[in-house]
Amino acid sequence: MTQASRRLPEPAAAPIASASRIDASRVEAVVCIPTFRRPDMLATTLASLEAQATKVAFAVVVVDNDAAAPVGLEVAQSFFRERRLSGVATVEARQGNVHAINAAFRLARERYPSADYFLMIDDDERAEPQWLDEMVACARQGADIVGGPVTPIFPEEARAAYRDHPVFWPAFGETGPVPIIYGTGNCLLRREVFDGLAVPSLDPSFNFLGGGDTEFFTRCRRAGFTFFWRQEAQIYEQVTPGRLALGWVLRRSLATGAINYSIDRLAARSLRDRLLLVAKNIALGPVSLHRALRMLRQSKHPLAATHPIGIAVGRLLASVGAMPQPYRYSS
């Protein structure tokens, strides 16, 4: 399978620290973790991987995206040095989550040529002990790309308006085939997916907007790869207090709309496609109002009902060049 697309730049070279308690030639699966300034959370993530109840030979790749103060690199090195996990750790000097993710997947494929399965978990998440087995079992049964839930853990003081808001919840809730998955926070890709794409990496134009994973999976779907959802492959994410704010939730809705528009715009190559895209943006105005009223009746929370309106507004803003950059890091 191939897919025509523009070539993207290669990840920058960076020093690599590694340690192993298993032979690299025996590694069947690699878990990738991009990280940025979350040493304590990363330690929790790595500890959850250490606790996996599995016979799958796996390694871990950690990519720290903070070249100035790579505290995540130090955390990963300690796990490898103490032989709690096998793996490699490096620094991606170019800032942006897409650069970090691309560096992680590329290093994993190069360092572990015998591995068939490449998973990703974020540095603010922890995996249940059966997570790896559940994901790999689906891939062994033929799924090209497997996704699983990232279940939020809210602070006790979180109001229901935030607990019920769709930005915090997974897209699917039952095990089975799905048309696509949307994020890399809990995913598995077979090596054949990377081999089958003309551009086996995320698009850096989504570096600070977010959604590079969704655009990547959209290309995977066009290339004919299959998707499966494994509800039992549970990962949990601690919702930090900063996300329980009106501004954060509204910005997330706007960014979702901008991401959706950007993906559609990349696929709109003819004049007819671009005209249809304009029509879609216009039509989403009244459609979003209808969805908002329906959500208001179902949830009883006005904040959740703003989500479809925020998506529609985000699309319109993106169409005139007003792109949010929620993932631009401050120095």
Instruction: List pLDDT tens digits, range 201-246.
Output: 999 989 888 889 999 999 999 999 999 999 999 999 999 888 999 9
55: exposed, middle or buried (Cβ count in 10 Å: 0-12, 13-18, 19+): exposed
Q: Does 2 reside within a domain?
A: no
Q: Which residue has the tokens 């019920």?
A: 164
Q: Using N-to-C axis directions, what is the helix angle for 212-222 and 246-267, rounded to 10°?
A: 30
The verdict on 173 and 45 lying in the same domain is: yes
What is the domain range of residue 288? 246-319
Q: Last residue of a domain, which of 202, 225, 241? A: 241
Q: 162 with 241: CB under 8 angstroms?
A: no
Copy the structure tokens of residue 141.
């049964």
pLDDT tens per residue, range 149-168: 999 999 988 988 898 888 99
- The Cα-based distances of 176 to 182, 288, 323 in angstroms read 15, 28, 35
The pLDDT of residue 196 is above 80 = yes
pLDDT at res. 20 = 58
Average pLDDT over residues 174-191: 96
DSSP letter assigned to residue 22: S
Copy the structure tokens of residue 76.
């990963």
Q: Does 213 reside within a domain?
A: yes
Number of domains the chain contains: 2
Q: Does 1 reside within a domain?
A: no
Selection from 124, 10, 17 nearest residue 60 by Cα: 17
Q: Does 73 reside within a domain?
A: yes
Average pLDDT over residues 167-183: 94
* Least confident piece of the model among 19-33, 109-123, 159-173, 238-252: 19-33
Q: Does 313 reside within a domain?
A: yes
Q: 150 with 185: CB under 8 angstroms?
A: yes
At residue 241, the 3 state secondary structure works out as helix
At residue 290, the 3 state secondary structure works out as helix
Q: Does 20 reside within a domain?
A: yes
Q: Does 4 reside within a domain?
A: no
pLDDT tens per residue, range 52-93: 999 999 999 999 999 999 999 999 999 999 999 999 999 999
The pLDDT of residue 10 is above 80 = no
What is the share, in percent, of the chain residues with pLDDT greater than 70? Answer: 92
The verdict on 199 and 275 lying in the same domain is: no
Q: pTM for the full model? A: 0.87
Q: Last residue of a domain, which of 199, 225, 241? A: 241
Longest dimension (CA), the chain: 59
Q: In sequence order, what are the residues at sequence separation of 6 or more whose Cβ sits closer than 8 angstroms to the Cβ of residue 271?
A: none
The verdict on 224 and 298 lying in the same domain is: no
Dist. CA 177–CA 162, nearest whole Å: 29
pLDDT at res. 190 = 98
Q: 209 with 257: CB under 8 angstroms?
A: no
The verdict on 212 and 315 lying in the same domain is: no
The Cβ of residue 140 has, within 10 Å, a number of other Cβ atoms equal to 13
Q: Last residue of a domain, which of 241, 270, 305? A: 241
The verdict on 37 and 180 lying in the same domain is: yes
The verdict on 272 and 205 lying in the same domain is: no
Dist. CA 225–CA 217, nearest whole Å: 9
Alpha-carbon dihedral angle through residues 89, 150, 291, 162, given to the nearest 10 degrees: -100
The verdict on 123 and 145 lying in the same domain is: yes
Which amino acid type is present at position 102? N
* Domain CATH for 23: 3.90.550.10
The verdict on 237 and 301 lying in the same domain is: no
Can you list the positions of beta strands (E) in the chain?
Answer: 16-19, 29-35, 58-64, 87-91, 117-121, 125-127, 145-147, 150-153, 176-178, 186-190, 227-229, 235-238
Q: Which residue has the tokens 């715009």?
A: 265
The verdict on 306 and 228 lying in the same domain is: no
The verdict on 143 and 130 lying in the same domain is: yes
Q: Does 6 reside within a domain?
A: no
The verdict on 145 and 55 lying in the same domain is: yes
pLDDT tens per residue, range 122-151: 999 999 999 999 999 999 999 999 999 999
Q: Does residue 265 or residue 233 have the better pLDDT?
A: 233
- The Cα-based distances of 199 to 9, 33, 75, 102, 111 in angstroms read 10, 21, 32, 11, 19
The verdict on 197 and 289 lying in the same domain is: no
